[in-house]
Structure 1
Amino acid sequence: MPTEIRLTLPRPHPGQATILRSTARFNVVDCGRRFGKTVAAQIRIVKPALAGHPTAWFAPEYKFLAEPWDSLSSILRPVVVGSSKQERRIRLLGGGCIDFWSLDDPDSGRSRKYKHVVVDEAAKARYLEAAWTKAIRPTLTDLKGTADFWSTPRGRDYFWKLYVRGEDELEPEYRSFRFPTLANPYIDPAEIEDARRQLPDRVFRQEYLAEFLEDAGGVFRHVADAVDRGRLLPEEPRRVGAYALGVDLARLEDFTVLCVLDQSGRQVYFERFNQIDWTRQVASIKAVAERYRATVVLDASGLGDPIYQQLADLGLAVEPYVLTSASKKPLIDELAMGLDAGKIRLMDVAEQEAELVAYEYQMTKSRNWTANAPEGMHDDCVIALALAYHGCQAVRPSWGIRTSGRAR
């Protein structure tokens, strides 16, 4: 007589249970932070895997795969016959398996066949449309497989388009769900109210109420509207008018970025480079500053201090800005307000636009909200642009600015 093996799955709360009862082939779940989407997605994938079918878990980047890998490995441990982090596969008794794929490559999963797939943090996947239509959807053909998309929204992107399909009666294979954070009964409502007080309204509505907003809930809005499409080359300086050169310095892994704005907020120059020694970097900054007769606004914290001194010794007009947690916030706020008001026109630079769009609000360990680039992404373009825009303003706050040759 075969041995009975019992597995303990998390008990779903009512909102999760509603999704788990769905019989639609493709489910699109739009939910606020901490709703419990990853737990529900794990419950959904376990059943077909235990029935002997191949299944797959997709996420935007490898870092998003660590939690489901560990959790599913623990839940399924009694029936795991083999697992390999290198192959990113958990094999089970009965022939079922769970593969784990990063959507950094939109061709992930191509040529496989699956009974069920999970697309976790779908709105964060840069190539979601290409991945779904060209790679993931075909993997479901052989076994007539199902798919679930789980995410907090990020504007009206392809995840939103999938959600709209699930609301359309003419799309019977799709079904959409929307749950705010408060639908999780294990979250203290006081925590949600605290977030409401601290966050901008549009960010709270996106992150906690799971609303699809046209401008998304990032720090900077109207970024696409500020870009002059096709304007790639630097513009020559005019005989009249002031320029500000924002400089964010880096030595190896990050990038040094030079950004020049005229006094109207129009970007006329952009340069981005890394792995260049300090002597060449100083020479590049000097050349651009002299070309535009620009005031250099430099991140003079840390390694920037000696560079500031060198530039000042060369006779350049330099305003050092000491970036701290206190001085960074008003700098970023100033840039955000400039974009909101339509006072900034940007060159068509893909890296710069991507950084601005991705910049987000994050909660610190001390439970305060701050604005930063997402983990694993750069913010050099954002800081250089913010410094340049700050230099264009007629009235400048006194914090963070040094007026002498030495740091305060």
Structure 2
Amino acid sequence: MLMARDIARALDPALLAVDAGIALDDWQAEFVRSDAPQTAMLIPRQHGKTEAATIKSLSVATTEPDSLILIASPAQRLSDEFVRRSRKTYGRLADAPCLIGDAARRIEFENGSRILACPGDNDGDTLRGLANVRLAIIDEASRCSDELITAIRPMLATNPRAQLVYLSTPAGKRGAFYETWFANDPDWHRIRVELGSCDRITPEFLERERKNLGETKFRQEYLCEFLDTEDAAFGADIIDAMFTNEVRPLWA
């Protein structure tokens, strides 16, 4: 019976959510089932990105022995919260084997798989020893440094099933997430979640948010618009207009 359940979950990773009593939105199920090597997701606040990433991480960890799942974010507490939520969801699974390693920043399963919460506020210097990562999830990727992302990417090099995931709301017109989203690179699978697709958030709440946050922050946090950073002296369009790709000879 348990073997049949594990096979079913391996064939359809979204079944783990069903077994945990979680109803996934369509975009969440798409992400959980995706085997794309690189995925960028642009998602409004409180629309379920962490829950979807938790289900995907647990699916990989429980069906693929000896898998290493890495969670990074702009702050250690965010990565720790991801591990806490993963632990809670795992506990809702019937007949779930006991964890052999369980700490604030790490979960280790009987099959040898691990979920690690890593700091994102040190530019990745302490992460460089990790290797053969099966799944790397960078939460709030728009707010992570390019140095952190540069440190993480090579960790997936030797795993043939490796997946890299950026989850984020926008944070200005700069950085790896912004460049990836607008690069039109076919090697990236993109998922764009629209405001209003989550029926758990009422129109009344959103109207209060618009009033309290102001139009600019509301557009960034909920409409997922990439806006110039507030502390920029000049907008990105103005700066781009100052440069040209035309190369002129020095003696002209």
Q: TM-score, normalised by structure 2?
A: 0.76
Cα distance in structure 2, aligned partners of 1:21 and 1:2? 21
Long gaps (5+) in structure 1: 227-408
Paired residue for 1:162? 180
Paired residue for 1:24? 36
Structure 1 residues 91, 9: closer, same or farther in 2, change over 3 A?
farther
Letter in 2 for 1:194: R
> Are the aligned partners of 2:80 and 2:117 in contact in 1 as well (CA < 8 Å)?
no
Secondary structure of 1:225's match? Answer: coil
Cα distance in structure 1, aligned partners of 2:137 and 2:38? 10
Paired residue for 2:140? 121
Secondary structure of 2:164's match? Answer: strand
Which residue, out of 113, 119, 142, partners 2:158?
142
Paired residue for 1:67? 81
Larger Rg, first or second structure (1 or 2): 1
- Which structure has more strand as a fraction of its residues? 1
Structure 1 residues 15, 192: closer, same or farther in 2, change over 3 A?
farther
Deviation at 1:205, TM superposition (A): 0.9
Which residue, out of 149, 153, 161, partners 1:132?
149
Secondary structure of 2:101's match? Answer: strand
Asked if residue 196 in structure 1 is aligned to residue 210 in structure 2, the reply is yes
Asked if residue 225 in structure 1 is aligned to residue 233 in structure 2, the reply is yes
What's the CA shift string for 1:144-188, capped at 9, x where partnerless?
A: 3101111111111222112123xx1xx332122222342212111
What's the CA shift string for 1:174-225, capped at 9, x where partnerless?
A: 1222223422121112211222233322211111111111x24xxxx3x332
Cα distance in structure 1, aligned partners of 2:58 and 2:169? 22
Paired residue for 2:56? 44
Deviation at 1:30, TM superposition (A): 1.1
Which residue, out of 193, 196, 209, partners 1:179?
193
Deviation at 1:2, TM superposition (A): 6.7
Paired residue for 1:209? 223
> Are the aligned partners of 2:83 and 2:116 in contact in 1 as well (CA < 8 Å)?
no
Report the more deviating stretch, 142-151 or 196-205. 196-205
What's the CA shift string for 1:373-400, capped at 9, x where partnerless?
A: xxxxxxxxxxxxxxxxxxxxxxxxxxxx
Alignment of structure 1 residues 76-155 onto 2, 5 Å: 76-77=90-91, 78-79=96-97, 80-85=99-104, 88-107=105-124, 108-113=126-131, 114-125=133-144, 127=145, 129-133=146-150, 135-144=151-160, 145-155=162-172
Deviation at 1:9, TM superposition (A): 5.8
Structure 1 residues 137, 200: closer, same or farther in 2, change over 3 A?
same
Alignment of structure 1 residues 252-263 onto 2, 5 Å: none
| TM-align CA RMSD | 2.3
Cα distance in structure 2, aligned partners of 1:193 and 1:206? 15
Structure 1 residues 180, 161: closer, same or farther in 2, change over 3 A?
same
Letter in 2 for 1:101: C
Long gaps (5+) in structure 2: 7-15, 235-252
Q: TM-score, normalised by structure 1?
A: 0.48
Secondary structure of 1:197's match? Answer: helix
In the alignment of these two chains, the number of paired residues is 211
Cα distance in structure 2, aligned partners of 1:30 and 1:90? 27
Secondary structure of 1:35's match? Answer: coil
> Are the aligned partners of 1:27 and 1:175 in contact in 2 as well (CA < 8 Å)?
yes
Secondary structure of 2:182's match? Answer: helix
Identity rate, percent:
27
Deviation at 1:117, TM superposition (A): 1.0
Cα distance in structure 1, aligned partners of 2:203 and 2:28? 18
> Are the aligned partners of 1:115 and 1:143 in contact in 2 as well (CA < 8 Å)?
yes
Paired residue for 1:351? none
> Are the aligned partners of 2:82 and 2:117 in contact in 1 as well (CA < 8 Å)?
no
